[in-house]
Amino acid sequence: MRLSVSFSFILFGFPAARSLLSTAYNATLLNRAALLDSGCGTSGALSCSTSASGQDLCCFESPGGLLVQPQFWDFNPSTGPSNSWTIHGLWPDHCDSTFDENCDPSRAYTGIASLLTNNGASDTLSFMQTHWVDINGDNEGFWEHEWSTHGTCMSTLELDCFSGITKGQEAVAYFESVVALYKTLPTYDWLANQGITPSSTATYSLSKVIAALKTESGGFTPALDCDGGSLNQIYWYFNLKGSVVDGEFVPISAPSAGTCGSTVKYPPKSGSSTPTSTTTSSSPTGMSGGTLPAKATIVALQLGSQVGGLLSLGTWSTQTLATFTTTGNANSFTMTSSKGNCGVSSGVFACGSGVSLSTFSTVSE
Active site residue ranges: 88, 146, 150
Cβ atoms 356, 340 nearer than 8 A:
no
Cβ atoms 362, 6 nearer than 8 A:
yes
User: What is the Cα gyration radius of the chain?
Assistant: 20
Distance CA 316, CA 323 (A): 13
DSSP string of 109-136?
---HHHHHHHTT-HHHHHHHHHHS--TT
Neighbours of 137 (CB within 10 A): 11
Cβ atoms 171, 147 nearer than 8 A:
yes
Tell me the residue type at 179.
V
Q: Pick the closest to residue 32 from 244, 225, 299, 321 (CA basis).
A: 244
Distance CA 48, CA 361 (A): 34
Our CA angle for 356, 362, 364, nearest 5°, is 145
Tell me the residue type at 143.
W
Alpha helices in 132-226 (DSSP H): 139-149, 169-183, 187-193, 206-217
| Distances in whole angstroms, Cα of residue 317 to Cα of each of 131, 153, 298, 303 | 28, 21, 11, 18
Q: Under DSSP, is residue 312 helix (H, G, I), strand (E, B) or coil?
A: coil
| Distances in whole angstroms, Cα of residue 113 to Cα of each of 59, 119, 123, 209, 318 | 28, 10, 11, 35, 22
